[in-house]
């Protein structure tokens, strides 16, 4: 059943803490070697539990977890050869930075010379070569996070797991570390499983993102596909900003359907998980796919009347809130370009989009 090319595999994995409620439900997931996969989802969606089962700190109630084709359910954490990075760094305060890094190598009974060589290399990798003699308390949060990363990489694991590792850092440092971690993972060819609830982080760092909700993977795909082609309402709402309009399917014809909005207006959409007339649906359109300039509208574009509620200048973009089809939370993002019209609150405007940018999802 196992595919040789898969390095990490979850086969029908379930987890329950009380024997009744499943926090992970029938999870199937396969990762090739060298992939950077992010598990993304709200609190309680099951993503951290999956990471902990992979690490060996939690046991699957049902199903099999394989690493490089071998079942690991009964292998203790320290024998799995997996590097771990947590949000709280988990560095030993009484040891120097070099001793912290040397520790996982001592546990593996490595000789002193080889240890020193590997510690030096790992510190250089995270640009912390000069800090070996310091204690964790003498480092900033960002420096501690780099050391935690170096410690996870020092014994050259084939798999590294990271649980919200950048959660405690400020925005600028976070963004810098996102870039660093991705670069290191790809340069070293390490398979990485990264857990976060920050969607921007997931989109910018990952080869693929698994979106979790209610103990299941709702969709797993490369970042651009998740954003451009969400498979259900949850993914559409959770990833990026999104406009939704409620309605009922009037007709379906191949990859087009007509939806009657609750306000009575009709629009064309792409049927994603609706299949027959009479079904309730949420129609999803990304804010940057909506055009407010009539001259720029494509001839196939679908138009609706709207009223401008709020116009916000954000530097590189304008963000306009509109009243559309009875809802006043419809957002349009337009580039700050010389020919972009600045809309005034209270004015009426015709907006439009291409039918393929409008997805009819589950209600």
Query: Helical H runs in 73-208?
Result: 97-107, 112-125, 141-153, 171-188, 199-205
* For residue 25, pLDDT beyond 60: yes
pLDDT at 273: 84
Average of pLDDT values for 316-338? Answer: 93
What the block records as the tokens of 60 is 């699957």
* For residue 254, pLDDT beyond 80: yes
pLDDT at 159: 94
Q: What is the pLDDT of residues 64-94, one digit of tens each?
A: 999 999 999 999 988 888 988 887 767 888 9
Give residue for tokens 């996969």. Answer: 37
Distance CA 31, CA 68 (A): 10
Asked if 304 and 351 count as a contact pair (C-beta separation under 8 A), the reply is: yes
Q: Which one is predicted more confidently, 47 or 355?
A: 47
Q: Residue 15 — very low, low, confident or very high, per pLDDT cuts 50/70/90?
A: very high
Q: What is the pLDDT of residues 230-246, one digit of tens each?
A: 999 999 999 989 999 99
Q: What is the pLDDT of residues 204-234, one digit of tens each?
A: 999 999 999 999 999 999 999 999 999 999 9
Angle between helices 141-153 and 97-107 (to 10 degrees): 20
The strand pair at 317-324 and 243-253 is best described as unpaired
What the block records as the tokens of 321 is 């809130």
pLDDT at 337: 87
Q: Which of 77-81, 84-88, 199-203, 256-260 has the lowest mean pLDDT?
A: 84-88
pLDDT at 340: 82
Distance CA 156, CA 154 (A): 5
* For residue 2, pLDDT beyond 60: no
Average of pLDDT values for 248-252? Answer: 93
Residues of the chain with pLDDT > 90: what percent? 60
Q: Which of 52-56, 288-292, 301-305, 359-363 has the lowest mean pLDDT?
A: 301-305
Query: Helical H runs in the chain?
Result: 47-55, 97-107, 112-125, 141-153, 171-188, 199-205, 223-228, 233-238
pTM recorded for the entire structure: 0.87
pLDDT at 3: 57
What the block records as the tokens of 198 is 């920050």
Enter the DSSP assignment of 340.
Answer: P
* For residue 1, pLDDT beyond 50: no
Q: Domain spanning 6-233: which CATH class is it, in words?
A: alpha beta
Average of pLDDT values for 6-19? Answer: 94
Cβ-based burial of 285 (10 A; exposed 0-12, middle 13-18, buried ≥19): buried
- In three-state secondary structure terms, 331 is strand
Average of pLDDT values for 312-329? Answer: 93
**What architecture is domain 241-362?**
Beta Barrel (2.40)
pLDDT at 89: 66
Q: What is the pLDDT of residues 135-157, one digit of tens each?
A: 988 998 888 888 988 888 888 88
Enter the DSSP assignment of 135.
Answer: -
The partner residues of 220 in beta bridges, in order of sequence, read 210
- In three-state secondary structure terms, 329 is strand
Domains of the chain, by residue range, sit at 6-233, 241-362
Q: What is the pLDDT of residues 263-308, one digit of tens each?
A: 998 888 999 988 889 999 999 999 999 988 777 777 777 788 999 9
The strand pair at 302-313 and 317-324 is best described as antiparallel
Distance CA 231, CA 88 (A): 34
């Amino acid at each position: 059943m196992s595919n040789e090319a898969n390095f990490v595999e979850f086969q029908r994995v379930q987890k329950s803490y009380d024997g009744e409620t499943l926090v992970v439900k029938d999870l199937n997931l396969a990762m090739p070697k060298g992939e950077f996969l992010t598990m993304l989802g709200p609190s309680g969606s099951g993503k951290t539990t999956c990471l902990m089962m992979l690490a060996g700190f939690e046991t699957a109630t049902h199903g099999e977890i394989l690493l490089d084709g071998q079942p690991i359910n009964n292998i203790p954490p320290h024998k799995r050869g997996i590097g771990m990075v947590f949000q709280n760094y988990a560095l030993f305060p009484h040891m120097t930075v070099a001793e912290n890094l040397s520790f996982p190598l001592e546990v593996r009974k490595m000789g002193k010379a080889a240890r020193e060589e590997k510690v030096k290399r790992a510190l250089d990798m995270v640009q912390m070569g000069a800090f070996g003699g310091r204690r964790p308390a003498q480092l900033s949060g960002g420096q501690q996070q780099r050391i935690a990363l170096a410690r996870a990489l020092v014994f050259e694991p084939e798999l590294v797991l990271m649980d919200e590792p950048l959660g405690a850092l400020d925005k600028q440092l976070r963004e810098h570390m996102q870039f660093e971690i991705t670069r290191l993972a790809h340069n070293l060819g390490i398979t990485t499983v990264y857990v976060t609830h920050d969607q921007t982080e997931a989109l910018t760092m990952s080869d693929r993102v698994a979106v979790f909700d209610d103990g299941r993977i709702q969709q797993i795909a490369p970042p651009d596909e998740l954003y451009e082609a969400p498979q259900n309402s949850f993914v559409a709402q959770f990833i990026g900003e999104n406009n939704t309009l409620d309605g009922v399917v009037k007709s379906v014809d191949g990859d087009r359907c007509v939806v009657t909005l609750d306000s009575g207006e009709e629009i064309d959409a792409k049927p994603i998980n609706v299949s027959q007339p009479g079904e309730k649906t949420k129609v999803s359109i990304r804010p940057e796919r909506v055009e407010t300039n009539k001259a720029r509208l494509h001839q196939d574009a679908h138009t609706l009347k709207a009223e401008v509620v709020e116009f916000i200048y954000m530097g590189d973009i304008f963000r306009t809130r509109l009243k559309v089809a009875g809802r006043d939370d419809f957002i349009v993002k337009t580039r700050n370009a010389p020919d972009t019209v600045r809309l005034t609150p209270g004015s009426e405007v015709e907006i439009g989009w291409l039918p393929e940018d409008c997805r009819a999802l589950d209600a």
